[in-house]
Amino acid sequence: MDSNLWCGWGMGNAELDGVKVFNPEGKSIGGFIALPERCANLAFGKRKRNRLLTTASHSLYSLYMNTRGAKNA
């Protein structure tokens, strides 16, 4: 874990819809996962907490990551 904040991000624009990552100081660290629609919510799942699950306007997406979500968060 890197203590980063992962946020669903969306402006109704294909170039801006997705997941954005911020460091503990609140600055965007350049991490962005584009989605074809606005991200409504997200969570890390699976036993190792390394699968990013996102809900969007009409879909559910999942992606294995090289980081882990917080334990018991």
Task: Indicate the average pLDDT of the chain.
Answer: 89
40/1 Cα distance (integer angstroms)? 23
65/73 Cα distance (integer angstroms)? 17
- pLDDT at residue number 73: 62
Domain residue spans of the chain = 5-64
pTM, two decimals, is 0.82
**1, pLDDT greater than 60:** no
The 10s digit of each residue's pLDDT in 17-32 is 999 999 999 999 977 8
Q: Which amino acid belongs to residue 57?
A: S
User: Mean of the pLDDT values across residues 23-50?
Assistant: 91
Closest CA relative to residue 55, chosen from 42, 36, 73: 42
Token pair of 3 as six digits: 């203590």
Helix (H) or strand (E) holding 6: strand 5-9
